[in-house]
Structure 1
Amino acid sequence: MADHSLDEKSITGSSVEDLSHVDQSKLREVDVAIGIAAGHTNDEEISPEEAKRIRRKLDWHILPLLFLLYTLQNIDKSTLASASILGIIKDNKLTTDDFNNLNSAFYIGYLIFEWPQQWALQKFPVGKWLSFNIFLWCLFLGLHAVCHNFGGLFALRFLLGASEGCVTASTMLIISMFYNRTEIGQRIGWTFQCSGVGQIVSGFLSFGVFHANPKKHPNQWQWLMIATALMTFVLFILFVLFIPDNPTSARFLTPEEKLTTIKRIQANQNGIETKTFKMKQFIEAITDTKCILFFLFGAIADLQNGIGVQYSLVIKSLGFTTLQTTLLNIPSGFAQIFCVTLCCYLLGKFPNSRSWLNILFWIPGIVAAIVQIWLPFHNKVGHLIAIYVTNLGGAPSVAMMLAWVTSTCAGHTKKLTANGMFLIGYALGQILCTQFWKAQYKPRNIVPWIITLVTYFVDIAIVMAIRYVLITENKRRDALQAEAEASGKSLDEFSDLGYLDTVDESGKTVHVKVERALLDLTDKENLAFRYVL
């Protein structure tokens, strides 16, 4: 701890102009919101009505854009599965392994570019960098329509994954900048449920392009790629015009509303945004037990997503026509929407229940996998319903985990690194998940379903391990604080206020008192931080 017997100036009780004496290099190392928060004390209460009004305003300006983003991303991810029954396999002379490898190519690009994407999200304005990647996504998707072989499709799937690797990381970051911990879980869940909306739209879109003349160009699958690319371009325009980089640059907020937005989330103890990459925080993240467990969860959970690419082929193998298959995955979208909405509702009722909700929503997937393995194959309806039930499980569990990662890491570089670790695990799982859906296992696919069933139980064990680690650390911090209070020691380390060490114009060391959440401390450095469960 710093020696506070030296000169001390308090940002919490001064004016914004008082920041002029602070070394600008020091300001770049702390939160971008520090200038707005200066001159306002920590005990200035925000009325429940005002907090609700601000939250509603944020919801109306930010969530529709994120909902569209996730809807279109899911439509995009579904294009390969949808195109599998619309002619892409025949026109490009693809084998079963070729088709599986095209899905892996997307996530190889995602995996390789995930660290560069995280670095760019810290160096560049988040909204603008996301908009740029949406444009690249639109371009690469549209170029699919001119491909005639595996090599061309593989290259474009790789580049598409590289650009879309920004989407989930940006979404997690943007939501964490504007909302408190419970709201983060709900908003990430609501955004994630748009994957279900995407499945529904994708089904109707596939149904529509199926009616294009297959003997003319563009072919059915090419029309699917072109239509999706055009919708993505509209999304790009909307993001360029309306998505903010952070609360300090949100044009739809007044200066007073920006301050209220910042103060609403200071209890998170993880700040808004810092533009300086800190190697110490990076190393802390990659060696943090909970971050490693989050990474493992992402990798194991996404081994289950082979069905996400195979669903059209699996449904068609049950004896349905191509036209019927284009529509039969639509109920899966409704299943995702229902279960994620229910999960978000339960999180609102029980705010510290992420781990239990995660486990609860694996149960439908476990039941569905058991049905797929043991139900006689002639029971086509039963197998189809089991596919729908599968969608009741994975989506809410992964959504809760995304929110958990975001809420349990502080320090901007560490938070980005933790997000990146989770998404790298996600990409590894996605690369591997289609590789065990082999031609020799069809049509029953017993081996893929057994692997899927095992991963459910492994993920439950990982969730319980994360919960144990966080509970143990919370108890340790509570004990340290109680010990300090009992012995009459300084409680500065457990306070919401901290100190920024700088040098004034005369060269004298000055300790500037600021909100601890704005000092860009990691969750390990900030003993006032408590982990949500």
Structure 2
Amino acid sequence: MEDTEKTEVTTALQAVIANQTGRVNVGQLYRKIDFRIIPLMFLCYFYQFLDKVAINYANVMEFGNARPGLQLDGHGLFISYAIAEFAQAYLLQRFPVSKVLGCNVFVWGLVLCCSAATRNFAGLLALRVLLGACESVVAPALILVTSVWYTKRQACARTGLWYCSVGVAQMAGGLVSFAAQHGSQDNDLARGAFGGWRIMFLAVGASNLLVSFAVLLWLPDTVDAARFLTTDEKALVRATLALDQGGNGRQVFRPRALVEALADPAVWLLFCIVVLTVIPSGVIVTFSATLINGFGYTSKQSALLNMPSGVVSIIATLLSTFAILRGIPRWLGILAMLVPTMIGAGLMSFYRGQGGSLAGIYLINFTIAPLALVFNLVGSNTSGYTKKVTAYATLAISFSIANIIGPQTFQSHEAPGYISAKITILVTNGAAMLVTILLRIIYGRRNRKTEKAREAQLAAVVRGKPR
């Protein structure tokens, strides 16, 4: 498209927005969209993360006490999570996003319910593998849904809102664990017993089934399919997204876009940032309650003392994502979140008292927030449906890889110091800072090229360049 044609399109979109703004209350419109879309995304990510938190608390609750050898750290889940990612990306490319998401939520709810009835390691492992395959669709699907409805600037805060479900899941997991431990701890199904961690899995799984029905019934796939919006409201949203160059474009597979995404150095730098920041969070999510338990607290106390980790996650996520609305660059937000994580790792590594070590565990939860900013970076700097899906799938794979690596740094022979894990957290945070700065350099160069192109376009308009 020529510069003049682009200008005409921009002018036409601005005219549509101006016309519709006179008919539609913009603030009321986006509140309506927020109330319909964000709670559903929040619940999907909440329950996906609550499952991982459940493993953390189940370990403290003497997971498999009635069946020795049932202990599981979640590796099967994350291996299948990575393997299934591109298959899920194909489904997102081929079918409506809400239908793919809702069906996966339904299946993993059933799997969690079945997990409550497992009697041996093999059965639980098989279910965790299936669970990982279903959960792998969540993050890519939610980011696509966010980009369908919001501009680049709007998307960051909205991503932060549904991503706060991570912190809420950490707190809810503590409460569910605490409550479950007050019931029977006899998990022997052969005698008809049903208590402890089995109750926890059944409760979480049944809740997932309800969420799946809500997603299938109430989450629209496109702006045009939103029955809760008027014709004028739909026109305003479409024009706003088109002017912002937001949205996903046509849901058509383009092999060239797939190659472009995989050849983009920025995508691989984001891949590295996710791995380097999620390794510490993988350690904390999997072992924080166990570490607190190792300080001399009971399993019930450990469940409650781990709940402030969720508060830290929520505060960090809201601070970092809403700071973008105030003009703070995303890369700087990532760096700001890594500083408290580094301090927390230092406290956990070198402070000898219980209080300091506990504070260190809480501070490390700041490392959960950068992932929301990485999600938003992809949505803001990647165009085209195929390229977006490919980039999201790549990041989801990096997420699973990090969650496999993180727990491996906890070596049983190093207990209770776990020096390898502590050094890993320090090193990965430092490396993440360096990679983030490098990503900023690459995006800066691209932005300068884009800005020059816009300046040339405006100059052509001023000169009255003919078509």
Offset at residue 231 of structure 1 (A):
1.0
CA distance in 2, matches of 1:454, 1:139: 39
* 1:388 maps to amino acid: Y
Is 2:50 the partner of 1:50?
Answer: no
Cα pair 1:362 1:456 within 8 Å, conserved: yes
**Which aligned pairs between 1:72-471 and structure 2 lie closer than 5 A?**
72-94=47-69, 99-100=72-73, 103-215=74-186, 217-304=193-280, 305-350=282-327, 353-376=329-352, 379-391=353-365, 393-471=366-444
Letter paired with 1:404: L
In structure 2, runs of 5+ residues without a counterpart are 188-192
Compare 267-276 and 129-138 and name the one that shifted more: 267-276
Offset, 1:144: 0.9
Whole-angstrom distance in 2 between the partners of 1:181 and 1:73:
25
Deviation at 1:356, TM superposition (A): 0.5
Distance 1:145 1:45, change over 3 A: closer
CA contact (8 A) 1:114 1:420 kept: yes
Distance 1:140 1:371, change over 3 A: same
Query: CA 1:380–1:485 in structure 2 vs 1: closer, same or farther (change >3 Å)?
Result: closer
> How far, CA to CA, are the matches of 1:279 and 1:169 in structure 2?
19
Tell me if the contact between 2:46 and 2:165 (Cα under 8 Å) persists in the aligned partners: yes
Asked if residue 476 in structure 1 is aligned to residue 449 in structure 2, the reply is yes
Return the offset for 1:371: 0.9
Give the CA deviation at 1:327.
1.0
Greater per-residue helix proportion: 2
Q: For the Cα contact (< 8 Å) 1:75–1:198, is it kept in 2?
A: yes
**C-alpha separation in 1, matches of 2:145 and 2:166:** 18
Q: In structure 1, what is the Cα distance between the partners aligned to 2:219 and 2:457?
A: 45
- Kindly tell me the number of residue pairs found equivalent between the two proteins: 456
RMSD (Å) for aligned C-alpha atoms: 2.7
Q: For residues 145-175 of structure 1, what are the alpha-carbon distances to aligned partners after superposition, in whole Å with 9 as ceiling and x for unaligned? A: 1212221111111110100111111110000
Instruction: Flag the 1:280–1:200 CA change in 2: closer, same or farther, 3 A.
Output: same
Aligned partners of 1:372 and 1:446 also within 8 Å: no
Amino acid at match of 2:277: A
Whether the aligned pair in 1 keeps the contact of 2:346 and 2:360 (CA below 8 Å) is no
| Amino acid across the alignment from 2:320 | C
* Alpha-carbon separation, structure 2, partners of 1:249 and 1:148: 45
Question: Aligned partners of 1:112, 1:413: CA distance in 2, in Å?
Answer: 19
Q: How far apart, in 2, do the equivalents of 1:457 and 1:41 lie?
A: 44
State percent identity of aligned pairs: 26
Instruction: Give 1:69's match in structure 2, choosing from 35, 39, 44.
Output: 44
Given that residues 284 and 364 in structure 2 are in contact (C-alpha distance below 8 angstroms), is that contact kept between their aligned partners in structure 1? Answer: no
Higher Cα Rg, which structure: 1
The one-letter code matched in structure 1 to 2:295 is L
**Cα offset for 1:325?**
1.1
Q: How far off its partner does 1:260 sit? A: 1.1
Q: Secondary structure at the match of 1:203?
A: helix
Counterpart-to-counterpart distance in 1, 2:342 and 2:299:
29
Amino acid paired to 2:355: V
- In structure 2, do the counterparts of structure 1 residues 63 and 485 end up closer, same or farther at CA, with 3 Å as the change threshold? closer
TM-score (norm 1): 0.81
1:65-123 Cα offsets, whole Å, 9 max, x none, are 1122222222211111111122324334238xx633xx111111110111111111111
Distance (Å, rounded) in 2 between the aligned partners of 1:433 and 1:129: 29
State the distance in 2 between where 1:190 and 1:484 align. 37
CA distance in 2, matches of 1:177, 1:370: 41
TM-score by length of 2: 0.92
Structure 1: give runs of 5+ residues left out of the alignment.
14-39, 496-533
Amino acid in structure 1 at the alignment position of 2:393: G
Q: Assess, with a 3 A threshold, how the Cα gap between structure 1 residues 370 and 349 changes in structure 2: closer, same or farther.
A: same
Structure-2 change in CA distance of 1:75 and 1:488 (3 Å) = closer
Aligned equivalents of 1:417, 1:395: Cα separation in 2? 23
Q: Deviations over 1:9-65 (max 9, x none)?
A: xx979xxxxxxxxxxxxxxxxxxxxxxxxxx75432343973222211111111111
The answer to whether the 8 A contact 2:79-2:129 is kept is yes
Q: Distance in 1 between matches of 2:66 and 2:277?
A: 33
Q: CA deviation at 1:382?
A: 1.4
